[in-house]
Structures are given as C-alpha cells and as structure tokens.
C-alpha cells in the first residue's frame, strides 16, 4: 500500500492521531501536496459520503473522518499556500444558514489566501444578515458563499439575492460553490462566478481581482 493509500484509509476510518504523521511521511517521500490532498483526503471523504448514503456508516463516523481530515490539512497547509505578500483584495466567506459543513470552505479560504486575498472567515450556518454586514466593509471586494446540502441551496439563493441588493454591490463580486451547486444554478441565482474546487476558486478569485 502506498503512503497516500495508507493516508486515505486512515482518513476514511477517522484515525485523527495517525493522519498528521502519514501526511508528513507522504510529503517526505516526495509526493506533491496537491496529490496528498486530492487522493489522500478528498477522495477518502467521497468514499465516506458514499458509505453514509448506503447506510454502511452514520453521522458519528462522518464526523470522525472529518476531524481526521482537518488534522491532515493542518500539516499540509504550509505546503499548499503560496506567496501571499501582495494583497490583491479582501474577501468574506461562509457556509450558508442551516449548513454545518466547513472542510470545503476552509480549503477554498486557504487557497484564495495564497493568491493574496485577506479572507474573513464568517464560519458555518451563516445567516443572510451576517453576509450583508460583511459586505458593508468598504474593503471587501469578494464574497464567497458555500453550500453542501441540496436542502441549503435555497439559503444560498436567498443570500445571493440579498447581496445583489446591497448598496455596495458594484464594488464586490460574489462567488459560489459546493458539491450540489452547478454553474447553471450559480447563474440562475445571480452570482458572478462559480467554482467546483478550491484550486479553481483561487484562480477565479485572482481573475476577479483584475476586473
Ligand atoms: Co454531511 N452530507 N451531512 N456531514 N457530509 C454530505 C454533504 C452528503 C453528500 C453525504 C451523502 O449523503 N453522500 C449529504 C448531502 C446530500 C445532499 O444534500 N444531496 C450529507 C448529509 C445528508 C448530511 C446530514 C443531513 C446528515 C444527517 O444529519 N442525517 C448532516 C447535515 C448537517 C448540516 O449541515 N445541517 C451532515 C453532517 C455532516 C457532518 C457534520 C457529520 C460532517 C461535516 C463536518 C465538517 O464539515 N466539519 C459531514 C461530512 C464530513 C460529509 C461528507 C462525507 C464530506 C464533506 C467534505 O468535507 N468533503 C459529504 C460527502 C461528500 O462530500 N462526498 C457529506 C470534502 C471537501 C473537501 O469537499 O466540501 O465538497 P467539499 O468542498 C469542495 C467543493 O465542493 C468546493 O471546493 C471544495 C474543495 O475542493 N467548494 C467550493 C465548496 N465550497 C465552495 C465555495 C466556492 C467554491 C468552491 O466558492 C465560494
């Protein structure tokens, strides 16, 4: 079994104590940080999701897998983040009201920070009012909205609708994403941009900063 396969298995079964060491060993073996993230952790979470769907595991197992992944990301973070010395904008990002998933949001924040954005993390279960308040900060140039559940897509729609009426709307862009979100949905609800993963969200954020 390769180190990345060992890591993926440890994430899948929620071995939070083993995961940081396995990430370090995978790095020491010369594996690319992005492969460790994608193949060693994100793919493992997809397996966890599939097992949950098939009733093979339940919420507590999903939670311990999530905790294990977070421990691994802590080790990987300095290796994924680039040079962010030149500030290109300020972003506020959160997961919508009713939604408690934050691993994807945290990865998106990490990658966008690496492009030079200062990011205010609004957290999870963020009410529309909190997004509106964040958008009032005169330095904010980008708002990120994440949703992981089909049942919280309407909350994303409400959030973007409210942001679209914000008095500062012409001064910031809105980017949305998360597993159930599609480019068509993003367009339908009036977001400026959609990205399907953290790396492309960082590319999109960089491009939006130039507009
Ligand atoms: Co939840 N959960 N969960 N869960 N969970 C999913 C999302 C699910 C797909 C599992 C499944 O059934 N297969 C399913 C949703 C089904 C649906 O709506 N269609 C589900 C469910 C049903 C639930 C509960 C309802 C279960 C229950 O209680 N019965 C419940 C809801 C709680 C709530 O939010 N109100 C629940 C709870 C939980 C835990 C708390 C146990 C835990 C979350 C812990 C945490 O986040 N701290 C959890 C987990 C871990 C998952 C899975 C297994 C993994 C999620 C994850 O972290 N993925 C997930 C299954 C899956 O995703 N396959 C599942 C890894 C992460 C890197 O990917 O978050 O997709 P992701 O982020 C990506 C992209 O989406 C994108 O970039 C990220 C990085 O590449 N992205 C953006 C995300 N936001 C973006 C924003 C952008 C751009 C890109 O711009 C702003």
Q: What is the pTM of this model?
A: 0.96
Please give the chain's pLDDT, 211 residues, in tens: 899 999 999 999 999 999 999 999 999 999 999 999 999 999 999 999 999 999 999 999 999 999 999 999 999 999 987 666 689 999 999 999 999 999 999 999 999 998 999 999 999 999 999 999 999 999 999 999 999 999 999 999 999 999 999 999 999 999 999 999 999 999 999 999 999 999 999 999 999 998 7
The response to whether residue 163 sits with its C-beta less than 6 Å from ligand 1 reads: no
Query: CA-CA distance, 33 to 40, in Å (whole number)?
Result: 10
If one residue of 34, 72, 148, 205 were mutated to test the ligand 1 pocket, choosing by the most ligand atoms within 8 A of its CB, it would be 148
| CA gap 89, 87 in Å, rounded | 6
CA-CA distance, 165 to 74, in Å (whole number)? Answer: 37
Instruction: Give yes or no for a contact between 40 and 65, defined as CB atoms under 8 angstroms apart.
Output: no
- What is d(CA 99, CA 53) in angstroms, rounded to the nearest whole number? 18
Compute CA distances 208 → 30, 106, 129, whole Å.
33, 20, 24
Q: Give the Å distance between the CA of 202 and the centre of ligand 1.
A: 20
3-state secondary structure of 143: strand
Q: Which tokens hold the place of 155?
A: 């909350």
Q: Is the dihedral of CA 77, 80, 84, 87 positive or negative?
A: negative
CA of 151 relative to ligand 1 center, distance in Å: 12
Considering only CA atoms, give the Rg of the chain: 17
Question: Among the atoms of ligand 1, which is closest to the Cα of residue 150?
Answer: 18
* H-helix segments, 81-197: 103-113, 128-135, 153-163, 183-188
Is the dihedral angle over the CA atoms 83, 85, 89, 94 positive or is it negative? positive
Distance CA 178, CA 190 (A): 16
């Amino acid at each position: 079994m390769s180190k990345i396969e060992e890591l993926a298995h440890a994430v899948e079964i929620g071995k939070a104590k083993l995961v940081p060491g396995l990430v370090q060993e995978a790095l020491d073996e010369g594996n690319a940080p992005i492969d460790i993230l994608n193949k060693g952790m994100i793919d493992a979470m997809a397996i966890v999701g599939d097992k949950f769907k098939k009733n093979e595991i339940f919420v507590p197992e999903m939670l311990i897998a999530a905790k294990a992944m977070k421990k691994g990301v802590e080790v990987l973070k300095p290796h994924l983040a680039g040079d962010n010395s030149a500030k290109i904008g300020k972003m506020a990002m959160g997961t919508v009201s009713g939604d408690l998933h934050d691993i994807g949001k945290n990865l998106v924040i990490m990658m966008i920070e690496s492009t030079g954005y200062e990011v205010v993390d609004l957290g999870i279960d963020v009410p529309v009012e909190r997004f509106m308040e964040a958008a009032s900060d005169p330095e904010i140039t980008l708002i990120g909205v994440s949703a992981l559940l089909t049942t919280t897509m309407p909350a994303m729609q409400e959030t973007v609708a409210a942001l679209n009426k914000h008095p500062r709307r012409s001064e910031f862009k809105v980017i949305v994403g998360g597993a159930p979100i599609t480019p068509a949905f993003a367009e339908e609800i009036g977001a400026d941009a959609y990205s399907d993963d953290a790396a492309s969200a960082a590319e999109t954020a960089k491009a939006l900063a130039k507009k």
